[in-house]
A and B are shown apart, each in its own frame.
Chain A
Amino acid sequence: MFPPQFDYRRPENLEEALEAVAADDAVALAGGHDLVPKLKQRETNPGTVVDLAGLDGLRGVGSGQNEVEVGALTTYAAMLDTAPKGVDALLDATGEVGDTQIRNRGTVGGNLAAAHPASDIPAAALALDATLHLTGPGGVRSLPTEAFYGDDGETVCGDDELLTELTVPQAAGDGSAYARKTHPSTGYAAVGVAARLCLDSMGISEARVAVTGLLDSPARLESVERALVGAGATDEEFSEATARAGEAFDESGVRSDHLVSADQRLRLLPVYAEKAISQALDRAVDRTGVSA
């Protein structure tokens, strides 16, 4: 449990940080919950660890034009303390991460960039249609969450780029939620589902539902989304839409390990999809007063 030797740099501004991470075999350190265990297990052997702790500008939650701006180095605890309106799924997911100590240290951006297949935040970001902003030597490029993650558990973040900000749209008339089955010994999501629903007088006008823990990368439940749009708010109709959530996935592509089998994850999926969707709907009804 002793890491190999590495150089340590602690840049004081983003420019220096970008220059430092662009070096060969340099890795960025935010909260460290992904990197430090890998170092201690000697699963990674970077030449340089670039500690981002000095980049105060990347910390904090702000409001823009109908959107919430989350600096990548915002801790989970700061996110929960700030509790911006209209991004409930993100707050639900943030509250599920680890325990108090972990939430005091771990960062929202670090969670997204580490791309652990069972991370909570990516599912919420995907359901809320968040935009991820990557800063590199050529400036900032902004990607929707789905474009940030490949299918293989990797991200498109370049070696010379840093994830610097997350922006989440706030819409009137929507409600969102995240629900997960927590694995009792690891604390990770066996399956976690985030949902965002928009209501109008006709019922559900938009739906985005995303799952984590199931595949190597977060994924949308498009068949469920299609079934929800236009649906009335009866329990039976949701159950019908969510019960078939697993059918879209080939079991061979579903994560399976000694903790949770693929079959079990697929069985959990409809249950937690229904929890997330029904809570998102309750919240949407509360916000809009529409009784769909």
Chain B
Amino acid sequence: MSTDDREAIDAEGFEGEVDPEDAPGYVGHSQQRREDAPLLRGEATYTDDFGGPETTSLAFVRAEVAHADIVEIETADAAAIDGVLAVYTWADLADGDGPMVLPASTSPLDVAVPGHPVLATERVRYDGQPVAAVVAEDRYLAADGVEAVDITYDERGVVTEPDEAAKADAPTLYEGAPDNVAVTAGMGDEDATAEAFEAADEVVSVELENNRLVPSALEPRAAVARWGGEDGLTVTISSQSAHGHRQKLSQTLGLLERDIRVIAPGSAGGSVTKATTIRARRWPRGPPGIWAVR
């Protein structure tokens, strides 16, 4: 719409516009939003506001290759940084109390892909997969630690298109799904559909591409975790699904759901992707207390 168009509408209204006077109720009226005032005044509390002075920061070292065997993870330089409290890899987590593997899916379908270990085990399978975790006194030192971790990879083949991934010569991502197909599902009445096409005067074929969604919330994924001993684990997380997180945390950490409390405070955006980082005040019985989903 051009500026001229807008000015014309402002001056005269446009065809079909309902005069707010004639439209009682919600339609046609500006609605007073109730949640905006604290956000605009800077009074809203986001996840970052829940840390407190003793909170440590956790940051992940992420894979910079899409598919590779991990040959070596060199963490000594990172661990030696003043203010870096710990550097963890899968080798540390594997000896912990919980499985530290997120279940692959809650779907009733038979999914051929195994669960997702919170840190990469012997292989990375996507660009950005968490490989090591650095705990430090603050987020800047954690970032210093991440930069100091050195990972050696032995790269494997990659594909970026679903069609290519399903071909016979494509590199295999999971041994349990040698053809790279995670799940096969169907719905509807196949015979009736075939009949309908058969009887159609004209059949048009179209290839549909389901684009990758990359939501980008104003507040990034963030969580504060507090281990309260017998009081269990309290996690404050920027997310819209507190119950889902409690269930996943329970399954991943090997804690009972009743020992986990998940709090979802004000959140600057959600859209499905919210949950990666966690900051732990204390480390219960070794590494657990940390988790990552993607």
Decide yes or no whether B140 CB sits under 8 A from chain A.
yes
Interface positions of B (Cβ within 8 A of A): 139-140, 142-144, 147
Q: Which one, A2, A4, A5, contacts B139 given CB within 8 A?
A: A2
Closest to A1 in B: B143
Q: How far is the CB of A39 from chain B (nearest CB, A)?
A: 11
14 contacting pairs across A/B (C-beta < 8 A) = A1-B143, A2-B139, A2-B140, A2-B142, A2-B143, A3-B140, A4-B140, A4-B143, A4-B144, A4-B147, A5-B140, A5-B144, A42-B143, A42-B147
Assembly CA distance A4 to B139 (angstroms): 11
Assembly CA distance A42 to B140 (angstroms): 11
Interface residues of A in 1-29 (CB under 8 A from B): 1-5
Closest to B57 in A: A2
Assembly CA distance A1 to B143 (angstroms): 8
Q: Mark A264-289, 1 if CB is under 8 A from B, else 0.
A: 00000000000000000000000000
Residues in chain B near residue A4, CB distance under 8 A: 140, 143-144, 147
Assembly CA distance A42 to B59 (angstroms): 15
Assembly CA distance A3 to B139 (angstroms): 10
Assembly CA distance A42 to B142 (angstroms): 13
Closest to B143 in A: A2
Assembly CA distance A5 to B143 (angstroms): 10
Q: Mark A242-284, 1 if CB is under 8 A from B, else 0.
A: 0000000000000000000000000000000000000000000
Interface positions of A (Cβ within 8 A of B): 1-5, 42
A2-B139, A2-B140, A2-B143 are known; give 9 further A-B pairs, CB within 8 A: A1-B143, A2-B142, A4-B140, A4-B143, A4-B144, A4-B147, A5-B140, A42-B143, A42-B147
Assembly CA distance A141 to B60 (angstroms): 48
Residues in chain A near residue B140, CB distance under 8 A: 2-5
Q: How far is the CB of A137 from chain B (nearest CB, A)?
A: 34
Assembly CA distance A3 to B143 (angstroms): 8
Closest to A5 in B: B140
Assembly CA distance A4 to B140 (angstroms): 7
Q: How far is the CB of A258 from chain B (nearest CB, A)?
A: 13
Q: How far is the CB of A196 from chain B (nearest CB, A)?
A: 28
Assembly CA distance A1 to B60 (angstroms): 12
Assembly CA distance A3 to B147 (angstroms): 11
Assembly CA distance A44 to B144 (angstroms): 13
Q: How far is the CB of A30 from chain B (nearest CB, A)?
A: 23
Closest to A45 in B: B147
Residues in chain B near residue A2, CB distance under 8 A: 139-140, 142-143
Residues in chain A near residue B144, CB distance under 8 A: 4-5
Residues in chain B near residue A3, CB distance under 8 A: 140
Q: How far is the CB of B33 from chain A (nearest CB, A)?
A: 23
Top 9 closest pairs, chain A to chain B, by CB? A2-B143, A2-B140, A2-B139, A42-B147, A4-B144, A5-B140, A3-B140, A2-B142, A42-B143
Assembly CA distance A226 to B140 (angstroms): 55
Residues in chain A near residue B147, CB distance under 8 A: 4, 42
Assembly CA distance A129 to B229 (angstroms): 71
Q: How far is the CB of B168 from chain A (nearest CB, A)?
A: 29
Residues in chain B near residue A42, CB distance under 8 A: 143, 147
Closest to B144 in A: A4
Assembly CA distance A64 to B84 (angstroms): 57
Residues in chain B near residue A5, CB distance under 8 A: 140, 144
Q: Which of A2, A3, A4 has the most CB of B within 10 A?
A: A2
Residues in chain A near residue B139, CB distance under 8 A: 2
Closest to B138 in A: A2
Assembly CA distance A128 to B199 (angstroms): 70
Closest to A3 in B: B140
Q: How far is the CB of B209 from chain A (nearest CB, A)?
A: 19
Assembly CA distance A5 to B147 (angstroms): 13
Q: How far is the CB of B100 from chain A (nearest CB, A)?
A: 26
Assembly CA distance A9 to B140 (angstroms): 20
Q: How far is the CB of B265 from chain A (nearest CB, A)?
A: 22
Assembly CA distance A3 to B144 (angstroms): 9
Q: How far is the CB of A158 from chain B (nearest CB, A)?
A: 30
Q: How far is the CB of A44 from chain B (nearest CB, A)?
A: 13
Assembly CA distance A5 to B137 (angstroms): 14
Q: How far is the CB of A36 from chain B (nearest CB, A)?
A: 15
Closest to A42 in B: B147
Assembly CA distance A2 to B143 (angstroms): 6
Closest to B139 in A: A2
Q: How far is the CB of A181 from chain B (nearest CB, A)?
A: 20
Q: How far is the CB of B223 from chain A (nearest CB, A)?
A: 17
Assembly CA distance A1 to B144 (angstroms): 11
Closest to B59 in A: A2
Assembly CA distance A77 to B230 (angstroms): 58
Assembly CA distance A40 to B135 (angstroms): 19
